[in-house]
Every structure is written in C-alpha cells, then in structure tokens.
Structure 1
Amino acid sequence: MEVRLDTEKCQGHLRCMDIAPDIFDCDDLGYGVVVLSGPVPAEAVERVSRCVSNCPESALTLR
C-alpha cells in the first residue's frame, strides 16, 4: 500500500503528523508532506488509515 498526499487540498492541519510522525512531516510553510518513500510498512497501515479518515480536507489516500 502507498499513501498519497494531494498538496492542492492540504490546509496544514497536520493531524497526519500527530498520528504518524514517522510517515508525515511538514514543509517550511506548515503543510503536510509524506516522508516515506515506497510502500507503507505493515505495522503502520492502521495508523495511516486513521490519518486518511481524520484528514478534514480529504487530502490523503491509501492505495
């Protein structure tokens, strides 16, 4: 599975960073970025799924 962040939708709430700081960070302007390259590790899938469902802008997808 891979996580994707739509930078056009992200408003910088950073809930993703609170839930999965090993997967998400913020840029210099305070918007979310995915720091993981490649597939989401099995042990992080549940947390990333929570990030997707908690994003108020629906900027995250998990495939």
Structure 2
Amino acid sequence: MAYRIVGSQCTSCSACEPQCPNVAIFEKGGVFAIDPAKCTECIGHFDQPQCVAVCPVDGTCVIDNSVPRARAA
C-alpha cells in the first residue's frame, strides 16, 4: 500500500515533500499529495514512512488501502 495525504487536514507546510526518498510527494491545488506509483512506504530507506514522521498533523499521512502494498526490493 502506498500512503496518501488527507487533503482536508493538510496545512501545506511542505515538511513532507523534501523528506520523501522517492520524490512521490507534490503540491496540488494548495495542498500536498502522494503519487501512489512512486510511494514505497519508505521500505528500504527508513524504518518508518518519512511523511508520517515529519507531518505536524497526526492522521494526515495515512495508508491508501486502494493501492497494493509495497515490497522490499
């Protein structure tokens, strides 16, 4: 599964964008979003997803259950 950003909770602080090792986070319409095709949940890079780790609003970066789970290479 990839992560997604709950747009209604995103404060557009941009803390997550530079932390993503896969360049999966981008700004769209004043809030940030995650490209599920690029998101690997930070598997192989970090112990926890960096978007979750740096987001100042709990519950904003959440697992997107509509996307298959990422696997380590």
Q: Compute the TM-score of the two structures, normalised by the length of structure 2.
A: 0.62
Q: Compute the TM-score of the two structures, normalised by the length of structure 1.
A: 0.69
Gaps of 5+ in 2: 65-73
- Larger CA Rg, structure 1 vs 2: 2
State yes or no: 1:7 paired with 2:32. Answer: no
Corresponding residue of 1:23: 24
4+ residue stretches of structure 1 with deviation over 2 A? 36-39, 41-44
| RMSD, aligned CA | 2.7
Shift of the 55–27 alpha-carbon distance from structure 1 to 2, 3 Å rule, reads same
Partners of 1:33 and 1:47 in 2: CA distance? 21
Partners of 1:36 and 1:47 in 2: CA distance? 19
Shift of the 27–47 alpha-carbon distance from structure 1 to 2, 3 Å rule, reads farther
Count of matched residue positions in the alignment of Structure 1 and Structure 2: 61
Offset of residue 47 of structure 1: 7.7
Gaps of 5+ in 1: none
**Residue-by-residue CA offset, 1:10-60 (whole Å, 9 max, x unaligned):** 01011110101611011142x11112337626335x286122021011210
**Higher fraction of helix:** 1
Percent identity over paired residues: 13
